[in-house]
A and B are shown apart, each in its own frame.
Chain A
Amino acid sequence: MTLNNISSNETAKNIKIKKRITNGIINEDKNGLSNCETAKSCPKPILNGTVPKNKKEGSSKVALFTAMKTYVKFHILMFLDYINQIFSRKVVPEKQRKLPTQNGTAHNVKVSKESFEQPALHTALMTYLGFYILMFLGYINQFFFAPKVAREKNREGYVPLYDNFEKFYLWYVYRRVRDCWNRPITSVPGAMVTVKERVTPDYGWTFVFTGREIPSLNLGSYNYLGFAESHSKCADDSIDTLHKYGWATCSSRHELGTNNLHVELEQLTARFLGVEAAITFGMGFATNSLNLPTLVSDGCLVMSDEKNHASLILGLRLSGALIRVFKHNNMKHLEKLLREAIVNGQPKTGKPWEKILIVVEGVYSMEGSIVKLPEVIALKKMYKAYLYVDEAHSIGALGPHGRGVVDYWGCDPQDIDVFMGTFTKSFGSAGGYIAGSKELIDHIRVHSHAACYASSMSPPVAQQIITSMKIIMGEDGTNEGINRIRQLKHNTRYFRKRLHQMGVIIYGNEDSPVVPLLVYLFSKIGGVVRGLAARKIATVGVGFPATPLMEGRIRFCLSAAHTKEQLDYALEQIDDIANELGLKYSQKPRCPRPIIYGSDDDLDATD
């Protein structure tokens, strides 16, 4: 019933390998049903209800002491981190790595053009200096001028609502630039978006609307193929569906919540991905966090990329499997960890692992990098592991046919055991899917909490996905899908090249539509977002909890809906701001020639 039975052939080999390596006794029947039962019935609570400690919250002495303690602890950590950064400074040469060929057939080797340029030493130093000042004044401010909302009253004997450092960070770092996030919008987030203007009278504690609405160029939505439209075939179809089926099914998939749209959507998704079957859920985050526990459990090993999304991490923690984290997109490190784990077996008992699952994402949303899929597949085959690919950002956005990383690298879909993805990004809708072999999907359908308890996808939402997916596949009888994919690709290459020529540091793969522009300092995140907002460009800044502390960045998300003129305007303004704020950190040589939109060398032979 578990993933193990999916390809018994492989499992047998897997076990043999383990036998060879560990020379241990294996208990083949120990996995299977009993495991998933435990995984299902008693998932580990995340907030393992910390028992309220008898700490006197009221006395200011204790408060000061704890504040000092966190402060000191934090600074020691920061310092170590800093030392570490200085010594691990490296320029990663992008060489073509030879892939092991399988069964004699050479892979269609594509070079991954990815760059993670490190800033100059003085930039790093400045970033740390600025951060110390920020922390220092934050503590002073918190100690002397904490506003009313910052004190918890009448909570004797309760656990504090916020973690100490989290609270401090939220109120004295994030609050100062809070106007750059969560800006309310009043239109469809297509190529243009209408942002409601708001001002803050008290430095970010509260906001008031001015009543003005600003149409802005939208560089902040995951609208990769531009299907977020209020007037289009998708919208019309969804409205028709709304009239026919209503808003919701008000029931779960197992009970009364399945209608023909859901069945159609699942079949279409499976066909789109080139696999046997698929199952869909109403929420992408839950697709990860509730389905991973049905696949792995205690006694399994999970290799997880360091930059994996929170939903994956939550799911893996819920599952109770042992998680080993490998460095971002670093296949050597993955292999090293895999070897070590296989040789040592399970901790304490030394038994062989029941399953090994490698969890990666297609496009990493904060780094803009693309997983090196052929290498992961080679490793997976070599070590007889299973592979789980989260295609949230890559489905629709990558590959000549918009079918995600598999299409991009030209791999065989059969090599990937579990496809996961969301409809929230490229399809302009909501929800998530899992696709793979029929056994896998049946297993998930029966055991997943999301299929069993969550209410099913709303019919208009499902219709939006069906229509947009058919357009991408070209089943609507037009070239629109292919045109959108091509437009996105041209936009991506053009935008990235222009930014690079400008001399700013951008992370990631040249084909990834997520473009993180590194600004490092908190104040610069605020400065850039505000500056661009004033120039009518809506963007998203990303800071500490989502990125390493010192790598604040601005994330541009490109879309097929953007025209060249819009991108030119945006680039002009970004150049302006980069000069003004001093963002041109890059020390790489710049391209001296002007960059031509959609020039021939931009196109691959596959196009």
Chain B
Amino acid sequence: MFKLLKDYFTYWYFQYELITNIYMFEPWEKFLLHGLLVCIIGLITYSSFVYLPTYLVSLWKSYTDLLSDFKAIYY
């Protein structure tokens, strides 16, 4: 089971390396590219944890406000 999982991950890691041509790079270049990728993904996750909840709440609020405005107009 564990081996299967490992095989699966090595396969997809290899695919990722091939498709991005990372397979051909020198170690420092690999490091740079992986670093860039980790940075981008990290920033995305960070922002989605820090800003997304408050942003969603405010979005919801404005939406309900809008609704109540409509209600005020029609009823």
Interchain CB contact under 8 A, B18 and A131:
no
Interchain CB contact under 8 A, B21 and A521:
yes
> Please, how many angstroms separate the alpha-carbon atoms of A203 and B26 in the complex?
7
Contact partner of A129 among B14, B20, B24, CB < 8 A?
A: B20
- In the complex, how many angstroms separate the beta carbon of A360 from the nearest chain B beta carbon? 36
Residues of chain B within 8 A of A129, CB atoms compared:
19-20
Interchain CB contact under 8 A, A137 and B29:
yes
Interchain CB contact under 8 A, B21 and A522:
yes
> Please, how many angstroms separate the alpha-carbon atoms of A350 and B22 in the complex?
55
Within 8 Å of chain A (Cβ to Cβ): is B52? no
Within 8 Å of chain A (Cβ to Cβ): is B15? yes
> Please, how many angstroms separate the alpha-carbon atoms of A521 and B24 in the complex?
11
Contact partner of A527 among B11, B23, B26, B29, CB < 8 A?
A: B23
Interchain CB contact under 8 A, A523 and B18:
yes
Contact partner of B24 among A140, A522, A580, CB < 8 A?
A: A522
Most chain A beta-carbon contacts within 10 A, residue among B14, B18, B33: B18
Contact partner of B20 among A133, A176, A203, A582, CB < 8 A?
A: A133
> Please, how many angstroms separate the alpha-carbon atoms of A140 and B25 in the complex?
12
Interchain CB contact under 8 A, B20 and A130:
yes
Contact with A along B10-50 (1 / 0, CB 8 A): 01001101111111111001001100000000000000000
Residues of chain A within 8 A of B11, CB atoms compared:
580
Interchain CB contact under 8 A, B32 and A523:
no
Residues of chain A within 8 A of B33, CB atoms compared:
133, 137
- In the complex, how many angstroms separate the beta carbon of A127 from the nearest chain B beta carbon? 8
Within 8 Å of chain B (Cβ to Cβ): is A596? no
Instruction: Tell whether A126 pairs with B24 under 8 Å between CB atoms, given A133-B33, A137-B33, A580-B14.
Output: no
Interchain CB contact under 8 A, B19 and A526:
no
Interchain CB contact under 8 A, A137 and B14:
no
Chain A count of residues within 8 A CB distance of the other chain: 21
Interchain CB contact under 8 A, B26 and A524:
no
Query: What range describes how many residues of B lie at the interface?
Result: 10 to 19
Contact with B along A202-226 (1 / 0, CB 8 A): 0100000000000000000000000
Within 8 Å of chain B (Cβ to Cβ): is A177? yes
Within 8 Å of chain B (Cβ to Cβ): is A134? yes
Contact with B along A427-465 (1 / 0, CB 8 A): 000000000000000000000000000000000000000
Q: What residue in chain B is nearest A131 (Cβ atoms)?
A: B21
* Chain A 65-100 residues near chain B, CB threshold 8 A: none
- In the complex, how many angstroms separate the beta carbon of A179 from the nearest chain B beta carbon? 11
> Please, how many angstroms separate the alpha-carbon atoms of A177 and B26 in the complex?
11
> Please, how many angstroms separate the alpha-carbon atoms of A526 and B22 in the complex?
12
Q: What residue in chain A is nearest B25 (Cβ atoms)?
A: A137
Within 8 Å of chain B (Cβ to Cβ): is A64? no
Residues of chain A within 8 A of B14, CB atoms compared:
580-581
Interchain CB contact under 8 A, A582 and B24:
no
Residues of chain B within 8 A of A524, CB atoms compared:
18
Interchain CB contact under 8 A, B26 and A134:
no
> Please, how many angstroms separate the alpha-carbon atoms of A581 and B24 in the complex?
14
Instruction: Tell whether A523 pairs with B29 under 8 Å between CB atoms, given A134-B24, A176-B24.
Output: no
Within 8 Å of chain B (Cβ to Cβ): is A230? no
Interchain CB contact under 8 A, B19 and A521:
yes
Contact with B along A168-200 (1 / 0, CB 8 A): 000000001100000000000000000000000
Interchain CB contact under 8 A, A137 and B15:
no
Within 8 Å of chain B (Cβ to Cβ): is A587? no
> Please, how many angstroms separate the alpha-carbon atoms of A130 and B32 in the complex?
15
- In the complex, how many angstroms separate the beta carbon of B73 from the nearest chain A beta carbon? 48
Within 8 Å of chain B (Cβ to Cβ): is A141? yes
- In the complex, how many angstroms separate the beta carbon of A113 from the nearest chain B beta carbon? 31
Interchain CB contact under 8 A, A523 and B15:
no
Residues of chain B within 8 A of A126, CB atoms compared:
19
Residues of chain A within 8 A of B15, CB atoms compared:
582
> Please, how many angstroms separate the alpha-carbon atoms of A522 and B15 in the complex?
13
Q: What residue in chain A is nearest B26 (Cβ atoms)?
A: A203
Interchain CB contact under 8 A, A526 and B20:
no
Contact partner of A176 among B17, B18, B19, B25, CB < 8 A?
A: B25
Contact partner of B18 among A140, A177, A581, CB < 8 A?
A: A581
> Please, how many angstroms separate the alpha-carbon atoms of A524 and B24 in the complex?
9
Interchain CB contact under 8 A, B18 and A582:
yes
Residues of chain A within 8 A of B19, CB atoms compared:
126, 129-130, 521, 523
> Please, how many angstroms separate the alpha-carbon atoms of A126 and B17 in the complex?
12
Interchain CB contact under 8 A, B25 and A527:
no
> Please, how many angstroms separate the alpha-carbon atoms of A203 and B24 in the complex?
9
Contact partner of B32 among A137, A521, A522, A581, CB < 8 A?
A: A137
Residues of chain B within 8 A of A580, CB atoms compared:
11, 14
- In the complex, how many angstroms separate the beta carbon of B53 from the nearest chain A beta carbon? 32
Q: What residue in chain A is nearest B27 (Cβ atoms)?
A: A203
Residues of chain B within 8 A of A131, CB atoms compared:
21
Residues of chain B within 8 A of A582, CB atoms compared:
15, 18
> Please, how many angstroms separate the alpha-carbon atoms of A495 and B2 in the complex?
37
Interchain CB contact under 8 A, B21 and A133:
yes
Instruction: Tell whether A177 pairs with B24 under 8 Å between CB atoms, given A521-B18, A524-B18, A580-B14.
Output: yes
> Please, how many angstroms separate the alpha-carbon atoms of A129 and B26 in the complex?
19
Q: What residue in chain A is nearest B18 (Cβ atoms)?
A: A523
> Please, how many angstroms separate the alpha-carbon atoms of A176 and B21 in the complex?
10
Pairs of residues from A and B, 7 with the lowest C-beta to C-beta distance, nearest first: A523-B23, A176-B24, A130-B21, A134-B21, A523-B21, A523-B18, A126-B19
Q: List 29 A-B contacts (CB under 8 A).
A: A126-B19, A129-B19, A130-B19, A130-B20, A130-B21, A131-B21, A133-B20, A133-B21, A133-B22, A134-B21, A134-B24, A137-B29, A137-B32, A141-B26, A176-B25, A177-B24, A203-B26, A521-B18, A521-B21, A522-B24, A523-B18, A523-B21, A523-B23, A523-B24, A524-B18, A526-B24, A527-B23, A580-B14, A582-B18
- In the complex, besides A176-B24, A523-B19, A527-B18, 15 extra interface pairs with C-beta distance below 8 angstroms are A129-B20, A133-B22, A134-B24, A140-B32, A141-B26, A177-B24, A203-B26, A521-B18, A521-B21, A522-B24, A524-B18, A526-B24, A580-B11, A582-B15, A582-B18
